[in-house]
Structure 1
Amino acid sequence: MDTIGFRISSLGQRPNKDLLNRYKNIATPLLSDNMNRLQGAYANLKPMHKNGRLVGPALTVRTRAGDNLMVHKAIDIAQPGDVIVVDAGGVTTQAIIGEIMMRLAQKKGINGFVIDGAIRDTDAFIQSNFPCFAKGSTHRGPYKDGPGEINEPITIGNMIVNPGDIIIGDMDGVIAVPLQHAEHILKLAIEQEKREQLTFEQIELETIDRSWIDETLRKKGCVFV
């Protein structure tokens, strides 16, 4: 029988490499807009690294606040290209990862971390292009007692993440695309990107139509004095 709260599951299905490659240049706002702006993590999950986009399948971890035993185990079982996504309850009193764990993850070919909690050794992250998104930083280290879960559904920054979802992180934040909808969301995002490129061109040519603003105001009952 499974022990809820202290268990390790297999990741199961991962997105194929072709699909991941097609996500590498898609900005998070385009993905967010096409998931009705409800799926992205809150803005308090910030990039802690110098530069670099984050793309890869989610290897999910749930741990009690301030404990990183299961995060260590996740590093050991992760495959190259995975993104370790940690629900640490949003608590920042103890760091969940630091430079040693970052170096271990880099050596294994892990694509990055998303930590709904704190990190430490912040200078090492700031000077690195290894993607890491976190809520904050602290010098206080973690405990290593458990419990926790690996590859179960989690919530980070009010965003549900299932194992194998595609994680995308850039300077605007982090978003998870459900794997079963990934092809469709990508198609919509690319179409929006083309429309926005046309808008940029119209701005430069001074041909953009802004009449929609006044039309919306009138429909909403705004009075022009």
Structure 2
Amino acid sequence: MSEQAWPAGFRINPRANGASPAWVERFQGIPSSWISDSMGRSIGTMGLAAYHNRIDLIVAAPAVTVRVRPGDNLMLHKAMEIANPGDFIVVDGGGDLSQALIGGNMQTTAIRKGLAGFVIDGAIRDLVDWANGKMPIWARGFTHRGPSKEGPGEINVPVAVGGMVVNPGDLVVADCDGVLAVSPSDFEALWPHIEKQKEKEAKLRQANASETPDPERFNSILRAKGCPV
């Protein structure tokens, strides 16, 4: 359809070619906290929780974004249809908890398609199904009340989830601590900071385990604030 042909509130854009497979692979296993520290500790979602019962799981995958009318999942169904295996579907549901946007039947479809997971700024249902750990999902909350399927909605447009902007093709990294989105344009500049954070974490853990931490790490801060130590 042409730009003029879309009815008001409806839009389906092509899948964005964002995060490359090589970068997706590089970010696998990197905790969200390391990325957060490397990005100034001010980036990422707030108020979303994991519902897949896998505290050990870290997911890094390119985003297919969806904006829906609160309580309506028509465009979420369409996004699942056009997404590629390994895609992370990120849904801006306005934080609404009155109706669930996704449930166990849709989980079955997602598993068959090999999707990486879901981030839902809205409600889900069928928690027992999600707790099987077969399909990662982060959401604002849950309810037994099901969705409408009327629209409107948009696919592959900039969205906001949990206070974080996600663009189509961004790399989404999610674990039990939270969800972050990284623009592919930032990969090269960000990666050295993540490597330094990895080294810092290893040194801190070794020092804490051996009972030889550096007292100046905090004493210098206290002295700078005028506190005698």
For residue 205 of structure 2, what is the aligned residue in structure 1?
200
Q: Which amino acid aligns with 2:154?
A: E
Instruction: Identify the match of residue 32 of structure 1 among 15, 22, 36.
Output: 36
For residue 53 of structure 1, what is the aligned residue in structure 2?
58
Secondary structure, aligned partner of 2:179 = strand
Q: Which amino acid aligns with 1:16?
A: S
Separation in 1, partners of 2:195, 2:105: 38
- Pairwise mapping of residues 1-225 of structure 1 onto structure 2 (< 5 A)? 1-2=3-4, 3=6, 5-42=9-46, 44-51=47-54, 52-222=57-227
User: Following TM superposition, by how much is the alpha carbon of 1:223 offset from its aligned partner in structure 2, in angstroms?
Assistant: 6.2
* TM-score (structure 1 length as normaliser): 0.94
User: Following TM superposition, where does structure 1 have runs of at least 4 consecutive aligned residues deviating by more than 4 angstroms?
Assistant: none
Q: Deviations over 1:101-124 (max 9, x none)?
A: 111111111110000000001110
Q: List runs of 5+ in structure 2 lacking aligned partners.
A: none
Secondary structure, aligned partner of 1:215 = helix
User: Following TM superposition, by how much is the alpha carbon of 1:157 offset from its aligned partner in structure 2, in angstroms?
Assistant: 0.5
User: Following TM superposition, by how much is the alpha carbon of 1:188 offset from its aligned partner in structure 2, in angstroms?
Assistant: 1.4
Q: List runs of 5+ in structure 1 lacking aligned partners.
A: none
Percent of pairs with identical residues: 43
Q: Which amino acid aligns with 1:87?
A: D
When structure 1 is superposed on structure 2, of 60-69 and 205-214 the one drifting more is 205-214
* TM-score (structure 2 length as normaliser): 0.92
How many residue pairs get aligned? The number is: 223
CA contact (8 A) 1:23 1:186 kept: no
When structure 1 is superposed on structure 2, of 175-184 and 81-90 the one drifting more is 175-184
User: Following TM superposition, by how much is the alpha carbon of 1:187 offset from its aligned partner in structure 2, in angstroms?
Assistant: 2.8
Separation in 1, partners of 2:199, 2:41: 19
CA contact (8 A) 2:29 2:59 kept: no
What root-mean-square deviation, in Å, do the aligned CA atoms of Structure 1 and Structure 2 show? 1.5
CA contact (8 A) 1:20 1:55 kept: yes
Separation in 2, partners of 1:221, 1:144: 61
Secondary structure, aligned partner of 1:102 = helix
Secondary structure, aligned partner of 1:21 = helix
